Amino acid sequence: MKNTFILFLLLFSGSIFGQMYNPVKWSTSVEKISDKEYILKAQAKIQSGWHLYGQYIEEGGPSPTAFTFKNQSKKIELIGKTTEDKGHETVDKIFDMKIKYFEDKALFTQKIKFISDDISNIVAEVDFMVCDDSNCLPPSTEELTFKIPKEKKLASAEETAVVKTDSVSIEEKTVSQTEEKKSKQEIATSPKKTESRGLLTIFVLAFLSGFAALLTPCVFPMIPMTVSYFTKQSKTKAAGIRNAMIYGISIVIIYVLLGSIVTAVFGADSLNALSTNVWFNLIFFILLVVFACSFLGAFEIVLPSSLANKVDSQADRGGLIGIFFMALALAIVSFSCTGPIVGTLLVEAASKGGIAPIVGMLGFSIAIALPFSLFAAFPGWLNALPKSGGWLNTVKVVLGFLELALAFKFLSNADLVLQLHWLEREVFLAIWIAVFGMLAFYLFGKITLPHDSPLNHISVGRLGFGLIVLSFMIYLIPGLWGAPLKLISGFPPPMQYSESPNGLGVSGNSELKITGSLPEGAEHGPQNIITFHDYDKGMEYAKKQGKPVLLDFTGYACVNCRKMEELVWSDPKVLRVLNNDVVLISLYVDDKKELPESEQYISETTGKKIKTIGNKWSDLQIKTYKANAQPFYVIVDHNSVNLTEPSAYNPDIEKYYNWLQSGIKNFKK
């Protein structure tokens, strides 16, 4: 269903929607590399704040950039595929896939070979879409002309013929840079900011994981041992603090070095690509299950004892080298507890790509290093530490259950990619309910595992945590019947990947009762609202019902459209209005179905040929409302006269509800 990302930021001037706007200018050039071979270059100059998508995007994502060379098969031969710049890559959370985009500029090249000599220019079409921080322009097609240099000699960079196309002649008018930035900050976050926030999330999760690892039986008991070593070896307090700091820095260096090696071996982009690979997800599902079994007490994952002995012998050398090898010995000896956590972090970092493994190891190592350094520098603080005991193994077991739950996320990814429907939403939630239910029973002392100490009573802290886990398990149960479960959004498969996509009954729309057939041309849309995709049929139905019409200019891949439908339209009072007081006509501007030949025409506004249903609705929006951004909402009467000012993306439920009521009130006058 999803074909494009969609649309374009509305520019306001007073109370009137701003002019249409094109932030991309295309230029072409041709480079001669031999008598018969040339390189065609298409340069996209992208205005600041906007980005253009790459050519190779998986099905189900936004529309990619695509070049089509006109039928000149008897005159030229295309050599290889069209190439593109490196650009930027990010994992889009909406589409759950890696997406490539360009900022500022993008260069596309195509190598050709002449079959005929009587060629003066080559014509191509480029289909593309650009987005800013919150909206996207509808998919657009431009015609590019590549003029062939008349010179027979090899063209140098200075001699390359550059011809600017006149396809971007639409007048560019924009609000001030300050207003534009303010608007963008209120609506959404740019890909760069999203990437930074993703790295910050990795760091925080890794930092918390480091503290969790610290509370395991392999690590926690080593704190007093380390403090004892530094107390005996340091002749003065200052020397003790210095050695403790060096020890902590050494721990950080060791783990960051591990993250750097992972990034260097696989490559930043490769890690990102692996995150959507079926085999990658299956392998890490198995790996995390093994880690979980280890934490639950089935076996221990340890490094060879010979390695630990060699490192330990180096730690006796003293000085900076000795301190470093002490830190390395800590990493090796505690591997049976820290290994699964480090492995899980690296797996999660792989889904982010870039320097995420390094950032993850930095956060993890700082959390590990801080207590060792601080207690070594201030040994008196040790008196405040709890004594080692069975609670350490409890922490380890809890981590094992969490690893097991996380493992099924990777299995779910593989199932989604293959579309096997083996691990649909209900099955995934059932597994999670079982896992967290068993964890609750464990915390309440109802089940014990191999390395647990006898439990005569449970502490208040353990009881409290058990109640939290039990509450979370109960929270998951309604998800089996279609509850959205926003708390874990992104972890289970999406609602449509389910045995009952709408839940049992009519989930999400208590106002609607299906008692008969749908009106002709209608279907159940978002929140199960009766929706028309055909303008004329929707208008005809509205006249019969005596209701105003809500025109919804939308797109299958419009991110903000989905946000409005899921967060605003789902509000009970808004949903009541949409069900009872208006007739909804949703016009998808990215619908690729071709119009019958007899219905195709040349747009009076843009001069382009309207070939698809999406083109038709986009042209209607441009011609009638002088805007081409989605979501775009208009309340009209039966003569298509506006009943109130149009509305764009507006996540404020109260304001959107009041806007609806204003249009309905004007209709009744």
532 within some domain: yes
Q: Is the pLDDT of residue 633 over 90?
A: yes
Q: Is the pLDDT of residue 480 over 60?
A: yes
Tell me the mean pLDDT in the region 249-256.
Answer: 84
433 within some domain: no
Q: Are residues 224 and 163 in the same domain?
A: no
pLDDT tens for 399-450 read: 889 889 888 988 887 776 666 788 888 999 999 999 999 999 999 988 888 8
pLDDT at 314: 55
Q: Is 533 left (phi over 0), alpha (psi -120 to 50) or beta?
A: alpha
Contact 578, 526 (CB under 8 A): no
End-to-end CA distance of the chain: 40
pLDDT band at 475 (very low <50, low <70, confident <90, very high): very high
pLDDT tens for 80-105 read: 888 898 888 877 655 567 788 888 88
Residue 492's nearest CA partner among 406, 605, 375 is 406
pLDDT band at 591 (very low <50, low <70, confident <90, very high): confident
Number of structural domains found in the chain? 3
Q: Is the pLDDT of residue 623 over 80?
A: yes
Q: Are residues 178 and 234 in the same domain?
A: no
Residue of higher predicted confidence among 62 and 107: 107
| Structural domain range at position 253 | 202-390
- Domain termination site, one of 390, 412, 447: 390
Residue 295's nearest CA partner among 227, 226, 343, 238 is 343
pTM of the prediction? 0.44
Q: Are residues 267 and 133 in the same domain?
A: no
Q: Are residues 152 and 283 in the same domain?
A: no
pLDDT band at 179 (very low <50, low <70, confident <90, very high): very low
413 within some domain: no
- Orientation angle between helical segments 222-233 and 319-333, nearest 10 degrees: 170
Tell me the mean pLDDT in the region 270-299.
Answer: 73
Decide the pairing of beta strands 24-32 and 161-164.
antiparallel
pLDDT at 660: 93
pLDDT at 508: 46
For 3-46, the DSSP string reads ---------EETTEE------EEEEEEEEE-SSSEEEEEEEEEE
Ranking 347-351, 407-411, 462-466, 552-556 by mean pLDDT, the lowest is 347-351
Q: Is the pLDDT of residue 630 over 80?
A: no
**Residue 243 to residue 233: CA distance in whole angstroms:** 9
Q: Is the pLDDT of residue 584 over 90?
A: yes
Q: Which helix (H) or strand (E) holds 572?
A: helix 572-580
Residue of higher predicted confidence among 71 and 398: 398
pLDDT tens for 555-577 read: 765 656 767 877 788 888 999 99
489 within some domain: no
pLDDT tens for 359-374 read: 888 888 888 888 877 7
pLDDT at 143: 84
pLDDT tens for 499-516 read: 776 555 444 444 444 445
Residue 585's nearest CA partner among 544, 628, 636 is 636
Q: Are residues 176 and 112 in the same domain?
A: yes
Tell me the mean pLDDT in the region 241-266.
Answer: 77
Q: Is the pLDDT of residue 609 over 70?
A: yes
Q: Which helix (H) or strand (E) holds 473?
A: helix 460-476
141 within some domain: yes
pLDDT at 473: 94
Tell me the mean pLDDT in the region 477-484.
Answer: 85
pLDDT at 129: 84
Residue of higher predicted confidence among 327 and 348: 327
pLDDT band at 349 (very low <50, low <70, confident <90, very high): low
- Domain termination site, one of 353, 375, 390: 390
Considering the chain, what is the average pLDDT of its residues?
74
Tell me the mean pLDDT in the region 220-239.
Answer: 67
pLDDT at 431: 95
Q: Are residues 170 and 212 in the same domain?
A: no
pLDDT at 181: 37
Q: Are residues 582 and 546 in the same domain?
A: yes
pLDDT at 541: 93
Residue of higher predicted confidence among 302 and 486: 486
409 within some domain: no
pLDDT at 49: 78
pLDDT at 274: 52
Decide the pairing of beta strands 583-588 and 530-532.
parallel
Q: Are residues 181 and 244 in the same domain?
A: no
Q: Are residues 223 and 339 in the same domain?
A: yes
CA 181 to chain centre: 22
463 within some domain: no
Q: Is the pLDDT of residue 345 over 50?
A: yes
* Percent of the chain topping pLDDT 90: 13
- Name the token pair of 2: 């999803």
Q: Are residues 166 and 250 in the same domain?
A: no
3 state SS of 222: helix
pLDDT at 532: 92
pLDDT tens for 451-463 read: 777 778 888 888 9
Q: Are residues 209 and 320 in the same domain?
A: yes
pLDDT at 4: 37
Q: What is the CATH number of the domain that holds 588?
A: 3.40.30.10
Q: Are residues 236 and 128 in the same domain?
A: no
* Percent of the chain topping pLDDT 70: 69
- Domain termination site, one of 364, 390, 416: 390
Q: What is the CATH number of the domain that holds 31?
A: 2.60.40.1250
65 within some domain: yes
